[in-house]
Amino acid sequence: MNERSSMRAWSVRQPGPIPGGPLILGDKALPQPGDNDLLVRVLACGVCRTDLHVAEGDLPQHRAGVTPGHEIVGEITEVGPQVDGFEVGDRVGVAWLRYTCGSCRYCLRGAENLCPDSQYTGWDADGGYAEYAVIDAAYAYRLPAGYTDDTLTPLLCAGIIGFRALNRSGLEPGGRLGIYGFGGSAHLTAQVAIAEYDARVHVLTRAAGAQRLALDLGAASVAGAYEQPPEKLDAAIIFAPVGDLVPVAMRALDRGGILAVAGIHLSDVPAMNYQNELFYERELRSVTSNTRQDGIYFLELAGRHHLEVSTVLYSMTRADQALTDLAGGRVTGAAVLLPDW
């Protein structure tokens, strides 16, 4: 039993543009685990673009004063009395999805990511920009060996969501994949596409550092986000939250190609020309969260293929700066917060 009653944590004081300082650092009550919960001490927490959307108000407010962060690697300090399979001292992962009803038509058909009553870490409940966090043990992940705390964190959202987006793109073995935007999720997805599908990956992004990273990780080509790749694509994924890229990417698809949009938020998509961007059975698909099975399978894959995880480290007390840098496009790879309380 933890004898402390409070902890240090960041909270979204008032959603708004990052330069206005929507985050505030202060004291919060130490979370108390329920019968089926785990209390974890945060060892590292990734910084996801979704955290930025929560802080800036691009996503509707679900919980006033919420603590962001849903890529958490933590050490269990307390185990609820109804929990089996976890012990104090175990290292676990806490991710975006934290609750589904288990009884709706979506859950019953294996599509719990579409559950209308689903809840999310760092949006509906406090997340990992804090000393401690609580998670239902049924939604905690066992972590693959061979990674440090900081390199594990991006796997828990960036990796899982990228994996689902890759599946939604319909990529076949030996296929040609286009990736638009090359941040935390994209740089992992590219490696999975190459290792698991033997794909030719073409990265389209404006940042020179991201282009260099893409080539280092095995991309077949790099170009600006609004340029066309050197060959038609069988599949494409948009990671950048920019709706203007949708018609650009659709024009890059070969006949029968599929474009998946990986983000939870996207700026408005301009009108598209049916003949130039949709005809020949080209498809546009969204990606909504993930199932727990997606996470389990991806983390097993990450254990088989050791992924190169590019991280930029920040102290936890500089979480606001990490989000500022992410908003300004100054993070190559994935930003990660490490405790410095």
- pLDDT number for residue 333: 82
d(CA 316, CA 47): 10
Written as one letter, the residue type at 141 is Y
Q: Is 89 exposed, middle or buried (0-12, 13-18, 19+ CB in 10 A)?
A: exposed
What are the structural domains of the chain? 6-156+310-338 (3.90.180.10), 160-286 (3.40.50.720)
Which residue, 128, 62, 64, 61, is CA-closest to 96?
128
> Which of left, alpha, beta for 85 (phi over 0: left; psi -120 to 50: alpha)?
left
- pLDDT number for residue 1: 60
What does pLDDT average to in each consecutive run of 10 residues of the chain (341 residues)?
A: 86 96 97 97 96 96 97 98 97 98 98 98 98 98 97 96 98 98 93 97 95 96 98 97 97 98 94 97 97 97 93 97 94 93 89
Beta-bridge partner residues of 44: 73
- Sequence-ordered alpha helix ranges (H) in the chain: 49-56, 105-108, 149-152, 158-168, 184-197, 208-216, 245-252, 292-304, 319-327
- pLDDT number for residue 4: 83
Which residue, 37, 20, 146, is CA-closest to 86?
37
- pLDDT number for residue 2: 65
* DSSP conformation class of 226: T
This prediction's pTM:
0.92
